[in-house]
Amino acid sequence: MTDTAQTQRHPAYGEILRLDELLDIACVRDDADRTLFFASHQACEIWFAVVLRHLDEARQALLDGDGIPAAEHLERLPHIMEVITNHIDILGTLAPRSFDEIRATLGTSSGFQSAQYREIEYLCGARDRRFLNISGLTEAERDRLLDRLAQKSLSSVFVEYRDSVPPASLPARRVRDALRTFDNSVRVWQERHAEVAELFLGAQRGTAGSTGAAYLRRSAARTMFPEVFPDQWRPFGGEQDRRAPALAARIPSSELPVQRRVQG
């Protein structure tokens, strides 16, 4: 009698990772520079999906009143953002002529249209509804963003959790520290992104119509968690605005390529 355990075939590494499918749809069979450009962006989107998953888990843990797993999920995120920042550094190794040639084939598509990154902002608490109106988003992507707006943000959920536990709660302090570290890691990524944009584009506008590096630098000036760090919401005019977070750190409409209006 054959032992089933001995004859059972376990999936190989490539099968578990579904590499044939992944590489079939990835842009890895073009020339070397285009492969680098598109693979870097695709990898960032995969990591954005991982970030979203961790933020969702942290938010749910706080809703359940459990700060420890929330902190554990959040504490991984700065390491992920460091990897994403490294992808930007990789793009900076392209020769300017090669970058210009690739950019000329993009039309109006741009990382500015990343629905997943807008989800990250909305989930965290940085909720500028004008991003619903930018061109290049599908209806399904807009629906996802509207769903995020209908939920309590991680920022507001943490404030509720913090106010429900003793002032000296170690889990609450740990979560707050993790939010701050993640917040700072996002800013590092935005600043580095701005540097690379300036390297290749100078003061040119982005392919989707944003102000490129200027927009990235202005974004880096605001926190992702306005209810947690209200003193870090700075209007782009320069002076501190202590009013409601939604009124501060507003990105000027001139820097957003708004194309349409979305109800909801």
Checking if the pLDDT of 139 tops 70, the result is: yes
Establish if 7 belongs to a structural domain. Answer: no
Examine residue 215 and state whether it is found in any structural domain, yes or no: yes
The amino acid sitting at 83 is V
Q: Check: CB of residue 175 under 8 Å from CB of residue 161.
A: yes
Per-residue confidence band for 217, with pLDDT thresholds at 50, 70 and 90: confident
80 in a structural domain: yes
Give the range of the structural domain holding residue 250, as residue numbers without chain letter.
20-255
Residue 247 lies in a domain: yes
pLDDT digits (tens, 9 = 90+) for 152-192: 999 999 999 999 999 889 999 999 999 999 999 999 999 99
Q: Specify if 188 maps to a domain.
A: yes
DSSP 14-81: HHHTTHHHHHHHSS-SS-HHHHHHHHHHHHHHHHHHHHHHHHHHHHHHHHTT-HHHHHHHHHHHHHHH
The model's pLDDT over 28-74, given as tens digits with 9 standing for 90+, comes to 888 999 999 999 999 999 999 999 999 999 999 999 999 999 999 99
pLDDT of residue 205: 54
Q: What CATH number should be reported for the domain holding residue 192?
A: 1.20.58.480
Per-residue pLDDT, 211: 60
pLDDT at 98 over 60: yes
**Is residue 239 assigned to a domain?**
yes
pLDDT, position 165: 96
Q: Is the pLDDT higher at 194 or at 4?
A: 194
Residue 7 in this model has a pLDDT that exceeds 60: yes
Instruction: Report percent pLDDT > 70 for the chain.
Output: 81
What is the structure's pLDDT at 30? 83
If you search the block for the tokens 């930007």, which residue do you land on? 88
Domain count, the chain: 1
The mean per-residue pLDDT over the stretch 228-256 comes to 50
Does the structure show a pLDDT above 80 at 86?
A: yes
pLDDT in tens, 111-124: 888 999 999 999 99
Q: What's the sign of the alpha-carbon dihedral 255, 260, 263, 264?
A: negative
Is residue 2 in a domain? no
Tell me, yes or no, whether 135 lies in a domain.
yes
Lowest mean pLDDT among 54-58, 109-113, 123-127, 259-263: 259-263
In this structure, the number of other CB atoms found within 10 A of the CB of residue 36 comes to 20
Per the prediction, the chain carries an average pLDDT of 85
CA distance 93 to 99: 10
Q: Confidence class of residue 243 from pLDDT cuts 50, 70 and 90?
A: very low
DSSP 245: G
pLDDT of residue 203: 58
